[in-house]
Structure 1
Amino acid sequence: MKHQTVDQLNAVADVHAEATVLFASRGQRLERWAQLLDQDPGRRLTALAGTEYATPEVREKMRAAGSPITVAFDDPIFRAQGLRDDTYGEAKRFFEMSDWQLHEVVCHCHVGANLPARWAASRVRAAISPGAGIFAWLRGVFMH
């Protein structure tokens, strides 16, 4: 292995030294995901269809271009921290979410074929404090 300085690495790669420190906990990763979604709150995102009806094997591989999970995967810091793709299963693993929590963020049964990014952000924030439930969701919807 060849030793290189940060400046040398910056010349050939997109280096994010803060990636392993700033977003190490589950709550920090979820809050960053919500912030990424809030960057364009009116953006229409694609919902996943029927996550609650799919078998676990199918659900793990579910994805949709332009979904809330895609917003997370587009972030170079999340990719540097190990987010491998924009599938349901990978989001569940990376963000340490239950099926119910992730279903609340990405499933079409709540909003139809697409959803505003601000809605997804409020649902991600609700997952940070699972006990907050509907109150966190309402606060997120009406405060943004």
Structure 2
Amino acid sequence: MKHHSAQEIAAAATLYPSPQEPRMSRRQRIERWAALLESHSGTLNALRQIEYLSPADRRAYRAPNTPLTIAFNDPVLREEGLKSDGLGDAMTFFEMNDSDAHRLLCDCRYLGRMTGTAVAERLRRYAASGERRAKLRQAIRRFFGL
């Protein structure tokens, strides 16, 4: 058995930091965003014609007073890892693809004015449908022994 000095033990302990606290799930992040949007008074700016942007321009897209701005202004979501109010960072953080972002946030999906309540409702339906799809895929895998 090898003996170690107190300094060696302390140095080894710093190499392996303790695990971080459990982070919010995707559903919890989306639910928090929806709650923030519901409490937002006034109108929001929808993302303008993002379907016509190149993939790089779409990921870099940002505009003032959008649902993405509301999310980024929240210190909890920033602490969880939301890097900016850019569309690409939000897509990564909320685990959305281009089609999801377009369906949820683009101006062509909102007739008239975009409100926080309307976006929150869509976000909640989106999160619930994602969970249903995941459960269905899991059941199919179990059924076929995958």
Question: For residues 38 and 22 of structure 2, what CA distance do their matches in structure 1 show?
Answer: 19
Q: What is the SS of the residue equivalent to 1:124? A: helix
- Where do 5+ consecutive residues of structure 1 fail to align? 1-19, 133-144
- The residue identity in structure 1 corresponding to 2:58 is R
Report the counterpart of residue 88 of structure 2 in structure 1. 89
Aligned length: 113
Cα drift, residue 21 of structure 1:
5.4
Cα drift, residue 113 of structure 1:
7.5
Deviation track 1:6-30 (CA, whole Å, cap 9, x = no partner) reads xxxxxxxxxxxxxx75752100100
- Where do 5+ consecutive residues of structure 2 fail to align? 1-19, 132-146
Structure 2 length as normaliser, TM-score?
A: 0.69
Task: Select the structure of larger CA radius of gyration.
Answer: 2
> Once superposed, what is the RMSD of the aligned Cα atoms?
2.2
Residues 91-130 of structure 1 correspond to what in structure 2 (within 5 A)?
Answer: 91-111=90-110, 114-130=113-129
Structure 1 length as normaliser, TM-score?
A: 0.70
Change (3 A) 1:119 1:50: same
Change (3 A) 1:23 1:43: farther
Report the counterpart of residue 24 of structure 2 in structure 1. 24
* Identity rate, percent: 38
Matched, 1:37 2:37: yes
